[in-house]
Amino acid sequence: MSKNFNVAIAGATGAVGIEMIKTLEERKFPVKNLTLLASKRSAGKSLRYCGQNIAVQELNQNSFDDIDIALFSAGGGRSKEFAPAAVNSGTVVIDNSSAFRMDDSVPLVVPEVNPEDVKKHHGIIANPNCTTIILLVVLKPLYDLSRITRIIVSTYQSASGAGAKAMEELRTQTSRILENKEITVNAFPHQIAFNLFSHNSTIFENGYCEEEQKMVNESRKILNDQSLQICPTTIRVPVLRAHAESVVIEQERKVSVEEAKKILSDASGVRVIDDRCNNKFPMPIDVNGQDFVAVGRIRDDISSENGLSLFICGDQLLKGAALNAVQIAELL
């Protein structure tokens, strides 16, 4: 007998929260009642779900009575504050923030990569960082062919990764520059229109930023491989939505380009776009609003005996966040 679930979304009015609502509807998740939660200033707004207007309620410690599954995308501070109350109410929390990702008692899950880890939860399951998800959906099939020993990855991260205000800032700055008007910088530390810059997260003593360190730590945890060597560089680019990643991998044995294309063509959640004759490879516009991660530029790394080079694109708001969370709920 199928069961319907009482589902809550914490952070429902944010960019990822809105995508979570759409994704639940589009994938026909068995929702009995949907509760939308946000900050006090957003309470009273209404959002559409399956043809109905649902009023947003203020997120508080008592929001999770009778809730089976809660999707959190309200920031790490809110997750730490309210997720324990949800778990105490019997709710399973799927958290999109970094609050619990590296907690040894919390599984960090990409359904195409390590679905079995969902069973290890004690009330909280963590959604990885968007760049990590997009990377590992493509690399796991190759890892299974021959263990990957080293990854060099450079990201091209869209404004959507910083939320709705950042996306609007890119739109506004672009329009004003084209009209020869002055711009303001608020959501980002630097002008984002017609510019790119190193990811705007804390720089650690080793010279790597927080976003880069997340890719290292999370990839090792998800693949259960603490010896995996990863060198990331994360960059903000003036793209509205969808992240791209340039990736070089080294494996224990040489995997041919043909072998890689074959395994990736058959991989869940992956689409190969690799048309050398017409110079057609993955672009952010190919994956906007799409569930799959695109991969192309699949070629030998001519500087390494066992190396491959790839180019990847994925929708940060969907597979990089909302879709991954809903897929975890589907596993539950």
- Domain 132-316 belongs to what topology? Dihydrodipicolinate Reductase; domain 2 (3.30.360)
What is the model's pLDDT at position 1?
A: 41
Structure tokens at 25: 């509807």
Structure tokens at 51: 């043809």
Quote the CA–CA distance of 327 and 332 in Å, as a whole number. 9
CATH number for the domain running over 5-128+322-331: 3.40.50.720
How is the chain split into domains, by residue range? 5-128+322-331, 132-316
Contact 114, 121 (CB under 8 A): no
Question: pLDDT per residue over 54-72, tens digit each?
Answer: 999 999 999 999 999 999 9
Question: Exactly one of 130, 199, 209, 313 is catalytic; which is it?
Answer: 130
What is the model's pLDDT at position 53?
A: 95
Quote the CA–CA distance of 67 and 205 in Å, as a whole number. 42
Q: Which helix (H) or strand (E) holds 198?
A: strand 197-198
* pTM, two decimal places: 0.94
What is the SS3 assignment for 287?
Answer: helix
Quote the CA–CA distance of 162 and 130 in Å, as a whole number. 11
Vertex 271, ends 266 and 273: CA angle to 5°? 120
Residues whose CB is less than 8 angstroms from the CB of residue 257 and which lie 6 or more positions away in sequence, other chains included: 298, 299, 300, 308
What is the model's pLDDT at position 164?
A: 87
Domains 5-128+322-331 and 132-316 are alike in CATH topology = no
Quote the CA–CA distance of 283 and 42 in Å, as a whole number. 35
Q: Convert 83-104 to b/e letters by CB count within 10 Å (16 or more is b).
A: beebbebebbbbbbbbbbbeee
- What strand order describes the sheet that includes 46-49? 46-49, 52-58, 31-38, 5-10, 69-72, 92-95, 124-126
Quote the CA–CA distance of 193 and 199 in Å, as a whole number. 15
Quote the CA–CA distance of 151 and 249 in Å, as a whole number. 5
Has 130 been annotated as catalytic?
A: yes
What is the mean pLDDT, run by run of 10 residues, along the chain of 332 residues? 87 94 96 95 91 94 95 94 96 96 97 97 97 98 98 97 93 98 96 97 95 97 98 98 97 97 98 98 96 98 97 96 97 94
Question: Exactly one of 121, 199, 209, 243 is catalytic; which is it?
Answer: 243
Has 277 been annotated as catalytic?
A: no
What is the model's pLDDT at position 2?
A: 65
Specify the DSSP class assigned to residue 204.
Answer: P
